[in-house]
């Protein structure tokens, strides 16, 4: 969309309002296109949705035993020990969080997995686990993987700033098992490989049998759901207990969306241009940057801060999504928190009109994200159950859904606009830090 020729602040803001408003008609088109991409992906045809079989069914809630889990999805990773009691009950997990530094993220893959194995060894030290105990480990690996078995999968490509060498195209379970063996932990075997979305769904699904969708809305985004094997043409593996399987959608790559000049500019400057289009519209890694590009347009036209430039708005990556949350949460009479934020950012003089404009732009960007998320969610649920004849629980995790002001409410509003009264059939439940616990549960299912 062209943005030239709008010379007054009011005209330019009205243009932004119109551009970022996702209408009900557009949301319905997203649902239709999402269904089409899902079907193509399930058939193994060219699609922006990978629709990856995970080889696992949902938990019954009756699984029992002690399991360990590794949850690797970013610069922080967690090791957990979890006891399943059956009947949907589990003991509070023992958890340790560890931090990866730059040499692990961008160095050799052997060093990355070697460090992780060392931390697992430290976690187990002094515990009852002996060297001759065979321990099953659930491995949550929240990066795009072409799964080749219940406990095997090749990394398709790093995301989230990772670039460790010698991992892309390799079986990440083999790399972890090898690192465990080298560190004297040959008794630990990876029983299942899953991503954080599948883990989140399994975690809630252990106690809620209506749970058939998992969604992550945080720094990144993805979703999974329970699908009938009979409608997966590309599946030629064995049957499962129920004739269903969890499908990892990799929905961040969905690309049948109306993009604005701001989205295109962000995409071109990203590390993966042309990919993860939905993710760049709805995830915490990118929302702040979308808002920054829009606000920088106002500044460059002299319509904000009298054209005064500041690194927070004119340098890529400097305006974080967490700043949007802070601004949108400010309901004070003169937007005093926005004043405080701007002063911290080197902008000491702002008008009330400036502050209102900044808040409104942030709201428009995040509201579009919530409504696009609602449309994608509605598409997944109506793929399972077109008539919405039964109740569906969506297990959800992620900082954007949990913490961003109004985000969860805007998703619910979007679902109600799309599905009318049948939206009441959809229950959205937080599965806080569910990915790690879910990996242990899936290890039990496996």
212 and 393 Cβ atoms separated by less than 8 Å: yes
How far apart, in whole angstroms, are the C-alpha atoms of residue 95 and residue 80? 4
Say how many residues make up the chain: 446
Q: Which of 57, 171, 196, 433 is catalytic?
A: 196
Asked if 160 is an active-site residue, the reply is yes
Residue 353 and residue 253: Cα distance in Å, rounded? 37
The residue annotated as part of the active site, out of 108, 160, 301, 422, is: 160
Is 238 in a helix, a strand, or coil?
coil
Give the span between the Cα atoms of 49 and 323, in whole angstroms. 31
Provide the phi-psi class of 61: left if phi over 0, else alpha when psi is between -120 and 50, else beta.
Answer: left
Count H helices and E strands in the chain, helices first.
16, 14
Q: Output DSSP code: residue 199.
A: H
Q: Does the annotation mark 196 as catalytic?
A: yes
Tokens of 336: 């005093």
Which residue matches tokens 């003169």? 334
The single-letter DSSP state of residue 305 is G
Q: What distance lies between CA 423 and its chain's CA centroid?
A: 22
Q: Are 123 and 28 in contact (CB under 8 A)?
A: no
Q: Indicate the helix (H) or strand (E) that contains 325.
A: helix 321-328
* Catalytic (active-site) positions: 160, 196
């Amino acid at each position: 969309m062209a943005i030239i020729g709008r010379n007054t602040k009011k005209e330019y803001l009205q243009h932004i309002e119109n551009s970022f408003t996702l209408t009900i008609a557009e949301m319905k088109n997203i649902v239709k296109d999402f269904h089409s991409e899902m079907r193509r992906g399930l058939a193994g045809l060219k699609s922006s949705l990978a629709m990856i079989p995970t080889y696992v069914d949902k938990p019954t809630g009756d699984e029992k035993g002690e399991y360990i889990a590794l949850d690797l999805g970013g610069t922080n990773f967690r090791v957990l020990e979890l006891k399943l009691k059956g009947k949907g009950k589990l003991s509070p997990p023992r958890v340790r969080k560890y931090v990866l530094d730059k040499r692990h993220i961008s160095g050799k893959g052997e060093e990355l997995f070697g460090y992780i194995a060392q931390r697992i060894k430290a976690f187990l030290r002094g515990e009852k686990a002996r060297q001759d105990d065979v321990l099953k480990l659930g491995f949550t690996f929240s990066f795009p993987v072409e799964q080749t078995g219940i406990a095997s999968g090749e990394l398709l490509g790093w995301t989230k700033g990772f670039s460790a060498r010698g991992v892309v195209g390799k079986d990440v379970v083999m790399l972890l098992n090898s690192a465990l063996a080298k560190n004297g932990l040959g008794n630990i075997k990876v029983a299942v490989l899953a991503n954080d979305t599948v883990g989140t769904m399994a975690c809630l699904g252990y106690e809620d049998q209506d749970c058939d969708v998992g969604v992550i809305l945080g720094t990144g985004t993805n979703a999974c759901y329970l699908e009938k094997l009979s409608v997966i043409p590309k599946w030629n593996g064995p049957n499962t207990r129920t004739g269903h399987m969890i499908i990892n959608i990799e929905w961040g790559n969905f690309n049948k969306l109306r993009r604005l000049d701001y989205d295109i500019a962000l995409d071109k400057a990203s590390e993966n241009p042309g990919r993860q289009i939905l993710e760049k519209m709805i995830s915490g890694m990118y929302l702040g940057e979308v808002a920054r590009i829009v606000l920088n347009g106002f500044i460059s036209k002299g319509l904000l801060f009298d054209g005064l430039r500041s690194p927070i708005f004119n340098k890529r990556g400097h305006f974080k999504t967490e700043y949007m949350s802070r601004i949108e949460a400010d309901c004070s009479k003169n937007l005093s928190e926005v004043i405080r934020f701007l002063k911290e950012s080197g902008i000491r003089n702002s008008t009330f009109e400036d502050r209102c404009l900044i808040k409104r732009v942030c709201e428009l960007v995040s509201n579009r994200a919530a409504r696009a998320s609602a449309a994608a969610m509605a598409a997944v649920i109506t793929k399972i159950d077109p008539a919405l004849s039964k109740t569906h629980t969506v297990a959800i995790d992620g900082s954007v859904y949990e913490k961003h002001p109004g985000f969860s409410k805007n998703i619910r509003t979007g679902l109600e606009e799309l599905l009318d009264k049948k939206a009441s059939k959809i229950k959205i439940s937080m599965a806080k830090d569910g990915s790690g616990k879910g990996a242990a549960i899936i290890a039990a299912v496996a």
